[in-house]
Amino acid sequence: MRRTLVAPGALHDTGRTRTWHHLDTGPVLADLGITPVGTILAVHGNPTWSFHWRRIADASVRRAESGEPAWRVVAVDQLEMGFSERTDLPRTLAQRVADLGSFTDTLGLEGPVVTLGHDWGGVISLGWAVDHPELLAGVVTLNTAVHHPEGVPIPAPLRVAGARGMLAASTVRTTAFLDTTLALAETRLSEEVRAAYHAPYRSADRRCGIGQFVADIPVDAAHPSHPELTRIAEGVRRLRVPALILWGPRDPVFQQRYLDDLIERMPHAQVHRFEGAGHLVGEDRPYAEAVLGWLARVADAPAERAVGVEPAGPSIAGFAPMWRRLEERADDPAIAAIDMTGTPVLTVSWRQLHERVTALAAGLSRLGVRRGDRVSLLVRPGPTLTAVVYACLRIGAVVVVADAGLGLAGLSRAVRGASPRFLIGETSALTAARALGWPGTKISVDRLPRITAAALGVSCALADVAEVGAAGGATPPEPGPADVAAVLFTSGSTGPAKGVVYTHGQLAALRDVLGRHFAVAPESGLVTGFAPFALLGPALGTRSVTPDMDVSAPRTLTARAVADAVAAADARIVFLSPAAILNVVDTAGDLGAADRDALARVTTFLSTGAPIGADLLAAAQRVFPNAEPHTPYGMTECLLVTDVTLEGIREAAEAADDGVCVGVPIDGVQVRISALDGDGAATGTPAETAGVLGEIVISAPHLKTRYDRLALTDAEAVRGTPTHDGVSRWHRTGDVGHLDEQGRLWVEGRLPHVLVTEAGPLAPVGGEQQLERVAGVRRAAVVGVGPHGRRRPVAVVETIERAAKPGLADPDLTARVRADVDLPLAAVLVVPELPTDIRHNSKIDRVRLSEWADAVCSGGKPVAP
């Protein structure tokens, strides 16, 4: 596949010929009798060479051999680089773009062409794309930049490499720059790969191009290559072909601001951030499969989707924005919201809330917050957060919500990845933002002393924003149902937290289905011990109260705190997470007569966040004796999917199915099952066939639009989903379960937790339910040990009388488990407490348990998982 080509010199190099080394899969495809559908023109950066693109060359040929559409890959060694010719001409950015054009002209390259670039090869490939619109079919770039902000220093590694006295020493006389670049891989590259990257650069005279590249970085407007960089940057804005940006966020050179700039210039681009990857994202992650898969999807997509135009989604009849009910009660002095998480208790009327929202909306608008601007909200649930959220929504700003339950590292990853233009936070959040370099103009919830505000980089306080708004100024036109409204982050319990994008129409659909299904009326009143629903009270037109608790740690909620909240709001509906319910049940003995009287007025309570069983739901009903208990099933991507009552669970129990029955789909929701194959993969066509174990696939008017800047994850989430019944927006949940003959959904665990045994796939929840019926067992998990395809289930239990040490269960408990549980268990282990996810404190961390169980069963020291 490696070839040479002699091409005329270009621009300042005319009158000469230059010899190019390049990689070309075209002859291989011709030998196979395969005609390619197009060409991928791949351009490396500094200090790599065409070897960088070996994976996409190999993958494209393999796909062609298997009958998939074939893409020819042409990957050049730029002049002065790799095994191409060394010349006596310093090559500026404009020269390199012209060089590449001469190469493709000589090669006789015909369209359609998709450019692929990395590092400064990304800029050069985009320059070629701007200059060859008649051939261009798409652009793909890995970490690169086409613009650098004026007055901002270039990244430190480049400043060091380009410093006087360092440039030649680090880039030419030694291999320091090359070695440093290769060290940026997420995991150390193999010796063979390192040697391959070094191969064209064995001597100083072979490394001159590396130094030229560094010297050619346009550090300011006076640099000779600055005009060409500006030309390319502006030309990129005019590209109307499909675009894909693959990014390694841990890149010390091409930092987040460069990704933000590319997104601003190509708003139609699909973006995927490979968390954990860095500058050498092509070595860190399977970029080749990502690019080729994307090309296949683009080829199958309608023209408007190919250039990234968002579908409007299902039409929403009678759309009313989230703030409409708040406007309707603008003059109402009645209570709208109560915050009991601090001292004193904060009570806000509808009139006060509306005035606050209106003032903040006008103030934010006057301060420069525009429709589509992202605003990160690092504020505890309560009236302040509610007012800020509705103000942002009203002016069309996109609220970014990632709570502290993600942990500092997870929260930092979420905030930085979302790239908000503004950040509104409490002092602790602003301190973290300053220390960790979170982006966005900083606005403080509280007024801070001048010195503190300056130290934290705070521009103003919310009170200042409200004063500016109250002083005058109209709010902009209302956003529409198709406009993006929010980016809500998942819990991070199944990997790095993902941003989930919702439009105004989808949020309104969620509000409407919730209000209809649970008959929420103005007089209902809500107690919201589950953060995602704490903001819905004003949208539903009913008062809401946040009980005394740490909202990032649901287990801190007590029965007395719930009773106080119910009494304060005269609430009839209570929303709680499973972890919160556990502690409410455990602390019910502390309730007094007045507390019990208050809780007896509750008519509906819901456990949301994870399915729970009949025993816990029944225990909770004893706390709320006159309430109908519900346990809806949903996720951040679609907060309400199905619903089931305690009575429904008891009826379902007679069927003795494995898993947790979560009821039938809520009005407007469709549920399908994609059957698991013998390898545990969900490969079956999604269907409603009863009794089939598989991945749960859903569709609903309130289903998210997409994942934020995770194009590949989003594509996987809709892979193989149905498009019949006029529905095109589906989501693969990652949960496994089955439907029964009555159309009820049974959840049996997560897809990654399925054990592939010699007998076939085994979902964990059914066995866990059997374990939790064993005397003395409080909670349980079923995990696997052994190789894939021959996994053996292991029972890990948390006993009612907490075990003092983790390890093998005592003989009596082991005997009881083996007698009552219908599983071929390899071992029975005990832990003082099962590890759970960070945010909900309710989803068992089976991956962590599996690793621990494997170590224990292999003779390792049984330390706590």
pLDDT tens digits, 459-485: 999 999 999 999 887 789 999 999 999
DSSP assigned state of 477: P
DSSP string, 717-757: HTTT----TT----EEEEEEEEE-TTS-EEEEEEGGG-EEE
Q: What is the pLDDT of residue 37?
A: 96
Average pLDDT (726-732) is 76
Which contiguous run of DSSP H or E holds residue 300? Answer: helix 287-300
pLDDT at 349 over 50: yes
Confidence grade of residue 161 (pLDDT, cut at 50, 70, 90): low
Would you say 410 and 838 are in contact if contact means Cβ atoms under 8 Å apart?
A: yes
Q: What is the pLDDT of residue 439?
A: 93
Residue at 678: amino acid letter: G
Kindly list the distances between the CA atom of residue 7 and the CA atoms of 4, 18, 80, 193, in Å, as whole numbers in the listed order. Answer: 10, 5, 14, 30
Rounded Cα distance between 856 and 236, Å, is 56
- The separation between the first and the last C-alpha atoms of the chain, rounded to the nearest angstrom, is 50
Of 72-86, 580-594, 607-621, the one with minimum mean pLDDT is: 607-621
Average pLDDT (207-215) is 94
SS3 229: helix
Average pLDDT (326-348) is 92
Q: 54: how many CB neighbours lie within 10 A of its CB?
A: 17
**Do you know the residue count of the chain?**
865
Q: 86: how many CB neighbours lie within 10 A of its CB?
A: 14
Q: What is the pLDDT of residue 309?
A: 46
* pTM, 2 dp: 0.90
Q: What is the pLDDT of residue 840?
A: 42
Rounded Cα distance between 53 and 77, Å, is 11
pLDDT at 839 over 50: no
Residue at 418: amino acid letter: A
424-452 pLDDT, tens digit each: 999 999 999 999 999 999 999 999 999 99
Q: What is the pLDDT of residue 165?
A: 62
- Looking at the DSSP assignment, which residues form a beta bridge with residue 547? none
776-785 pLDDT, tens digit each: 998 899 999 9
368-424 pLDDT, tens digit each: 999 999 999 999 888 899 999 999 999 999 999 987 777 888 889 999 999 999 999
276-296 pLDDT, tens digit each: 999 999 999 999 999 999 999
Kindly list the distances between the CA atom of residue 838 and the CA atoms of 93, 406, 462, 499, in Å, as whole numbers in the listed order. Answer: 48, 6, 30, 16
E strand spans, 740-841: 745-750, 755-757, 760-762, 777-785, 792-799, 807-808, 827-830
Cβ density class 282-294: b for 16+ within 10 Å, e for less: bbbbebbebbbbb
105-131 pLDDT, tens digit each: 999 999 999 999 999 999 999 999 999
Which contiguous run of DSSP H or E holds residue 607? Answer: strand 604-607
Q: What is the pLDDT of residue 162?
A: 64
Of 173-182, 241-250, 409-418, the one with minimum mean pLDDT is: 409-418
- Looking at the DSSP assignment, which residues form a beta bridge with residue 796? 781, 829
* Domains in the chain: ranges and CATH: 2-148+224-306 (3.40.50.1820), 156-215 (no CATH), 324-503 (3.40.50.12780), 643-701+715-751 (2.30.38.10), 755-857 (3.30.300.30)
Q: Which residue has the tokens 């659909």?
A: 509
Mean pLDDT rounded to a whole number for the chain? 91
Rounded Cα distance between 121 and 213, Å, is 10
Confidence grade of residue 159 (pLDDT, cut at 50, 70, 90): low
Q: Rg of the chain's alpha carbons, rounded to an integer?
A: 30
Q: What is the pLDDT of residue 862?
A: 65
Q: What is the pLDDT of residue 312?
A: 45
Q: What is the pLDDT of residue 494?
A: 65
